[in-house]
Amino acid sequence: MRTKNADLVKRSQELHSSLVKWRRDFHQHPELSFQEQRTSRKVEEILREAGIEDIETNVGGCGVIATISNGPGAVVGVRADMDALPIEEETGFAWASKNPGVMHACGHDAHTAILLGIAHLFIEDAKANRFQGTVKLVFQPAEEKCDEQGETGAVKMLNSKKLEELDSILALHMCPWRKRGEVQIYDGPSMANNDEFHIAIKGDGGHAGYPHQTVDPVWISTFVLQNLYSLNGRKVDPLDVGTIGIGKIQAGEANNIIPHEVEIRGTMRSYSNEVRYMLIHEINKIPSLVASLGGECDLVVQKGEPALYNAPEINAIFRKAAYPMTIYNEPFGMGSEDFSHFTQKIPGAMFFLGCATEKVTNLHQSDFNIDESAMCDGVRILAESTYELLKQGGI
């Protein structure tokens, strides 16, 4: 049977009111990582109302996998993340968050709505015998945060062994710096390796008027900070991508007391494994530096998400599906994305979908907003790309 791509432009546009309704419902009821119970139940409810019967819940926590099959063929996954952020919303919208201190400020509400739209298209097409193969709709929890084992929702869903038959996997991300009608696509490493570090510099505090009687961890920390901030310019090849950022420095309680300890927390970002491990190697020298200045040091480095690698052959399909939209062939920046765990194991790719409003806002901001009409573009591009992969029989 020949796979038929049945007027996806028109059908995607017809989903607009449903996409907006679903997205605003999720936006009003955001849930943090590993707490997406209500979201998961709502997703299952909408999938069953659409006539989808093969639904697995509680996958990797609150994850949901819906499978739509129509005979033998390729198995294509499409993924959306569902969790929100610990941010107090300041949009003033009628559909603003009802959960104090929790907000969908990264577009995951739209991602989830878009995947539900794709579900509606493919269950209709399965019943009409318009394609051959299998589509797996992967609603993933916990993209924003890892648990005490250092695992995000992507890792837990992969560890469930319920996605091993996938031939390829697709995803998108809302892009508030691009307008509707624009997409950003990039081959190869497109988002950063993300590793975090915690440095505790320990000295022997005392009266600030008698610094010679102390081992001052604040003074020691100035050398540590200088060392950290110099790594970019003196250890990373200028032609490579790598950066270190300090997000927290904490020490002491009073202006006349030298503290016993200084805490430094930060992040390392890179695109290549060579730069990643070089930065980790250099940071592991910090305890020796501290010891040379008379202090002690506890250092913890936690490896996070790997760099997001986009398969060029899937990006070629995205570019074709996105026509006639404007395509920017640029990496997505130094943020991280746990979809990278999928693309380490399965040929896959993610593109960024333009959704800027008249008032430009950025990801993870308390006034973040999107042009909701862009969700129809997301449905169309992902659906057309899925159709192409089914037609090809996979990658």
Residue 291 CA to residue 256 CA, distance in Å, equals: 25
Query: How remote is the C-alpha of 381 from its chain's centroid?
Result: 19
Of 29, 27, 40, the closest CA to residue 66 belongs to 40
Task: Say if strands 193-202 and 75-81 run parallel, antiparallel, or are unpaired.
Answer: unpaired
Q: How far is CA 391 from CA 2, 76, 382, 395, in A?
A: 7, 11, 14, 10
Distance CA 394, CA 373 (A): 30
The answer to whether 212 is annotated as binding is no
Q: How far is CA 201 from the centre of its chain?
A: 32
Place of tokens 């081959």: 187
144 is in an annotated binding site: yes
Q: Is 234 helix (H, G, I), strand (E, B) or coil?
A: helix
Annotated ligand binding at 165? The verdict is no
Count of Cβ atoms closer than 10 Å to residue 124 Cβ? 15
CA nearest to 15, candidates 378, 393, 385, 389:
378
261 among annotated binding-site residues = no
Residue 90, marked binder:
no
Annotated binding site: 106, 108, 144, 173, 364
Which residues are annotated as part of the binding site for Mn(2+)?
A: 106, 108, 144, 173, 364
